[in-house]
Amino acid sequence: MIFLDTNILLYSIGTRQEDASKAQVARALLDQRHAVLSVQVLQEFYVQATRASRPDPLPHDLAAAFIRT
């Protein structure tokens, strides 16, 4: 199994051009059959992805849908 941390999830939703390669790698890791996430990682992702000070915050509905997926 591959344990993925919060940063992988955050990179996977990144929109900055300079982070495009990181986003691509993060999405490939998420597609791995043996990738696992903890509840804590999902909680941290939600908090960081929706925080108002983020350059591109996700709305609640989109962040929640991402977690359900």
For 25, half-sphere exposure in the C-beta direction (CA atoms, 13 angstrom radius) is: 8
Taking the C-alpha atoms of residue 28 and residue 47, their distance in angstroms, rounded to an integer, is 23
pLDDT given for residue 19 in this prediction:
87
Q: What is the pLDDT of residues 13-56, one digit of tens each?
A: 988 888 899 999 999 999 999 999 999 999 999 999 999 999 88
Task: For the chain, state the CA radius of gyration.
Answer: 12
| pLDDT at 59 > cutoff 90 | yes
Residue type, 30: L
Name the residue with tokens 């925080």: 51
pLDDT tens digits for 43-54?
A: 999 999 999 999
Identify the pLDDT of residue 38. 97
Residue 5 has pLDDT above 90, yes or no: yes
How far is residue 3's CA from residue 52's CA, in Å, rounded to a whole number? Answer: 28
Which tokens sit at 63? 């962040």
